[in-house]
Amino acid sequence: MGSIDTPTITENGSTQSHAAAPAADGDQKPHASANGAPVEMPPESEATKRRRASMLPLEVGTRVMCRWRDAKYHPVKVIERRKVPYGGANDYEYYVHYTEFNRRLDEWVKLEQLDLDSVETVVDEKVEDKVTSLKMTRHQKRKIDETHVEVGHEELDAASLREHEEFTKVKNIATIELGRYEIETWYFSPFPPEYSDCLKLYFCEFCLNFMKRKEQLQRHMRKCDLKHPPGDEIYRSGTLSMFEVDGKKNKVYGQNLCYLAKLFLDHKTLYYDVDLFLFYVLCECDDRGCHMVGYFSKEKHSEESYNLACILTLPPYQRKGYGKFLIAFSYELSKKEGKVGTPERPLSDLGLLSYRGYWTRVLLDILKKHKGNISIKELSDMTAIKAEDILTTLQSLDLIQYRKGQHVICADPKLLDRHLKAAGRGGLEVDVSKLIWTPYKEQS
Ligand SMILES: CC(=O)SCCNC(=O)CCNC(=O)[C@H](O)C(C)(C)COP(=O)(O)OP(=O)(O)OC[C@H]1O[C@@H](n2cnc3c(N)ncnc32)[C@H](O)[C@@H]1OP(=O)(O)O
C-alpha cells in the first residue's frame, strides 16, 4: 500500500523531512518542468515584475501553485497571511492548504515558494453565511452548500464543519518535544490561552504536563516521580505494556493527553470532561521507564456501542503495527465485556485505513479456516466486531451477495487467498493470556 503523507518527526532534535511526495497532480504549471520540478527561467521583464507586484499581498482565498518540500509544485489555497517582521508593506508569509491533501500538511510558506503566474484571478470575496453568521468566501460557501466531503468529515454537517475549519484553520503549536523525540504537529489543538504565543511545547513524557521552555521541563524532570502513566498496568508482554487510566481519578493526566492527542487528530472534539472516559496507554518499557507509544480512549458507558473514542499512535511509532495492536486490544476488551463494539465516527483517513486493514485481516483469517457456512452474526460473536462493520468490509472485498432478501457470504478460496496476500502485515499480536482486566464498574 502506498503511503499517505505525514509531516516530519525527528529524533534527538535535528530537523529533517521524511514525508513522501503527494501523488502527482497531473496539472502542469508555468515554471515547472514536466516532472513538476522548478526549471531555470530567463530574467523577468519589467512588465512581468509589475504585474506580479500588483497582485501582492495575496488575498486569503487565493488559489495558486506552491513549491512543496519535494521541490514540486502543488495547488494550494491561501488560508491566512501574516506580515514578515521588519518587511516592506507587501511582505507577507502565507498559510496554505494543499488542496489535494489532508489538512495535516497545511503550513506557512514564503512568497518565493508561490508561483505568481499561476494565481487564479477570481479571488474569493467574503460573504456571510445566513445559517452560521460566519464570514466566508464564496468558494467556501459553495463548497459547504454542495455538502462538503473532505475525508474524515463526512458526518459533520455544513455549519459544524465551517465552524470547525474556521476555529482550527491555522496550526498553533508547530512542534513538541516528548521524551527523546521532537515531533512536528499536524493540527490545531486548543491549549489554554497562555500557550498561544508558543510555537514549541515541551512535554513530560510520563505525566504529560507541558511547558513553554526546555529549562522548565528539565527542572520538572528532576522532580516528577512518575516513570509510567498513572493507573493500572493491565497488560505486559515483553517490552510492551498497557495502562488503564481512569479520567476521573487522573483528571490532569487525561486532559493533558487530550491536548496532546488533538495535535494529531483533526476531527475530534476535545473533551474537557475526561471523567467519562478510560484511557488505554500503550508503552514501550526499558530501564528508564515506560515510554508512551500511543493510546485509545473509551467511554465508560456508550449507548452507541462504541468501544473506542479516539486512537492515536504518536508519529515516531507509526506504521509499525501499533495501531492495529491498539485496535485489536479494544476488541479484546469488548470480548471480555461480552459486547460487540465499533469505533466512534467519523474516522480519519488513517483511522479508516487502519480499521479496514484490521477488519479485513481478522475476517479473512476466520473465513479461510472455517469449514461450512457462517453468518455475519456468528462472525460478530467471534470477533466482537459490529455486524455493520463486517458487512461493509465483506462488501468492499466482494465477498457478499444479496440473495432472496438476505446477505450471503460467498468466500471463494481463491479470492480469499488473493485478498489475504493484499492485506499485508497483521500488526503486533495481542497475547490475551497477558491481559489482566475486569470491565469498568462505577464505584459508589
Ligand atoms: C475513531 C478515531 O479516533 S479515528 C482517528 C484515527 N487517528 C488518527 O487519525 C490520528 C493520527 N493517526 C494515527 O495515530 C495513526 O495513523 C493510526 C492510529 C490511525 C494508525 O496507527 P499506526 O500505528 O500507524 O498503524 P499500523 O502501523 O498498525 O498500520 C495500520 C495500517 O493503516 C494503514 N496506514 C497507516 N498509516 C498509513 C499511511 N501513512 N499511509 C498509508 N497507509 C497507512 C496501513 O494499511 C497500515 O498497515 P500496513 O503498515 O500493514 O500497511
CB of residue 7 inside a 6 A radius of ligand 1: no
| 260 CB within 6 A, ligand 1 | no
Q: Is the peptide bond before 192 cis (omega within 30 degrees of 0)?
A: no
Does 5 contact ligand 1 (Cβ within 6 A)?
no
Please write the tens of the pLDDT for every residue from 133-189: 444 444 444 333 332 233 344 455 677 767 767 777 889 999 999 999 999 999 999
Residue 215 Cα to ligand 1 midpoint, Å, equals 34
Separation of alpha carbons 128 and 7, rounded Å: 34
Cα(44) to centroid(ligand 1), Å: 46
Q: How far away, in angstroms, is 360 Cα from ligand 1 center?
A: 14
Residue 295 near residue 279 (C-beta atoms within 8 A): yes
353 lines ligand 1 (CB under 6 A): yes
Distance of CA 245 from the midpoint of ligand 1 (Å): 23
Q: What is the Cα–Cα distance from 340 to 357, expressed in whole angstroms?
A: 18
Checking if the pLDDT of 423 tops 50, the result is yes
Length of the chain measured in residues? 444
* The model's pTM: 0.83
Bridge partners (DSSP) listed for residue 113 = none
For ligand 1, what atom is nearest to the CA of residue 317? 23
> Which of 174, 55, 164 lies closest to 106, judged by CA?
174
Q: How confident is the model at residue 30 (pLDDT cuts 50, 70, 90)?
A: very low
Domain spans of the chain?
A: 23-123, 227-444
Distances (CA, A) of 367 to 1, 26, 99, 325: 23, 41, 40, 21
**Which residue's CA is the closest to the ligand 1 atom numbered 46?**
354
Q: pLDDT tens digits for 207-260?
A: 999 999 999 999 999 999 999 999 999 999 999 999 999 999 999 999 999 999
* Closest ligand 1 atom number to CA of residue 428: 28
Residues with catalytic roles: 344
Q: How far is the CA of 28 from the centre of ligand 1 (A)?
A: 31
Pocket residue to mutate for ligand 1, from 350, 362, 428, most atoms within 8 A of Cβ: 350
Instruction: Please work out whether the CB of residue 319 comes within 6 Å of at least one atom of ligand 1.
Output: yes
The amino acid occupying position 41 is: M
Higher pLDDT: 240 or 43? It is 240
Query: What is the architecture of the domain spanning 227-444?
Result: 3-Layer(aba) Sandwich (3.40)
Report the pLDDT value the prediction gives residue 51, as an integer from 0 to 100.
85
The band of 50, judged by pLDDT with boundaries at 50, 70 and 90, is confident
In CATH terms, the fold of domain 23-123 is SH3 type barrels. (2.30.30)
